[in-house]
Amino acid sequence: MVGNFGQGAFFTVLDYQSGGGGWMKVQGRSTTGWIVADPALTAPGSFNRYAEANGFSALYPQTWAFQQESYGTVFLPQQGMQSVLLETGATPGSFGPRGLAGYSQSSTGPVQVCGYTGTLTYYVKAASFTGATPTALPVPRLPLYAEIRVTLNASNAVLIAFNYQDAGQLDVFSDVYNSLAFPFPLCEAPAAPTPTPGR
């Protein structure tokens, strides 16, 4: 039997097999079964679920917390200074200029976020930059910054940004943006087929 689960579903891992690209035996609330261990589709670890009234939700590491700011939601670790920002707006331009003052772009490319293609851009802080941390930001600026801007439709967009120390921390960023769900057609789980009555 083949089934599917909605974006951001939680499971307890019971077993792992490396054959066929890797499989995990998982247990949910009412179902136990095997799922592919592809890191683009699954993330190991313990996570908390964050949800907004407008239908946006994401998973974040259990050892992290979040705080609401006037511009969006900031996810922060209990130890460390990296941060993930989730912000919604009317268009990608509503988030202001791309990148951060004092940072230069190092690379850019397309990325999929819950069925929608966005732009993932990486930045590096200039060693000579001495500007102050923006007052609205609850953490100091770190040497590296990445952001994804995704257009959902003509009047909705999302920004997911990561302020971090080194590339070893990027798994947290990918776990958050790969778990992001929102109430727009390409992101919603496919409807179960309607049974056809027998004749």
Residue 192 counted as domain residue: no
Do 84 and 161 lie in a common domain? yes
Question: Phi/psi of residue 172, each to 5°?
Answer: -65, -45
Do 68 and 150 lie in a common domain? yes
Do 26 and 87 lie in a common domain? no
Question: What is the total count of domains within the chain?
Answer: 2
Instruction: Decide: 181 and 5 in contact? Cβ < 8 Å.
Output: no
Instruction: Decide: 14 and 32 in contact? Cβ < 8 Å.
Output: yes
Q: Model confidence at 194, in pLDDT bands (50, 70, 90)?
A: very low
Do 86 and 33 lie in a common domain? no
Instruction: Decide: 140 and 149 in contact? Cβ < 8 Å.
Output: no
DSSP letters spanning 67-118: EEETTEEEEEESSSS-EEEEEEESSGGGG-SSS-TTEEEEEEEEEEETTEEE
Give which of 184, 163, 59 is closest to 118, Cα–Cα.
184
Residue 96 counted as domain residue: yes
DSSP 129: -
96-139 pLDDT per residue, tens: 999 988 899 999 999 999 889 999 999 999 988 877 665 555 66
Mean of the per-residue pLDDT values for the chain?
82
**How many Å apart are CA 85 and CA 67, to the nearest integer?**
10
Do 27 and 122 lie in a common domain? no
Rounded percentage of the chain residues whose pLDDT exceeds 90:
46
Residue 112 counted as domain residue: yes
137-149 pLDDT per residue, tens: 566 788 999 999 9
Residue 189 counted as domain residue: no
Residue 190 counted as domain residue: no
Do 22 and 118 lie in a common domain? no
Do 130 and 68 lie in a common domain? yes
Q: Give the pLDDT of residue 191.
A: 44
Residue 188 counted as domain residue: no
Domain limits for position 36:
1-42
Do 51 and 38 lie in a common domain? no
CATH number of the CATH domain containing 173: 3.40.1000.10
36-76 pLDDT per residue, tens: 777 666 666 788 889 998 889 998 999 999 999 888 999 99
Do 115 and 159 lie in a common domain? yes
Q: Model confidence at 196, in pLDDT bands (50, 70, 90)?
A: very low
Residue 191 counted as domain residue: no
Do 69 and 153 lie in a common domain? yes
Residue 84 counted as domain residue: yes
Q: The whole model's pTM is what? A: 0.75
Do 93 and 26 lie in a common domain? no
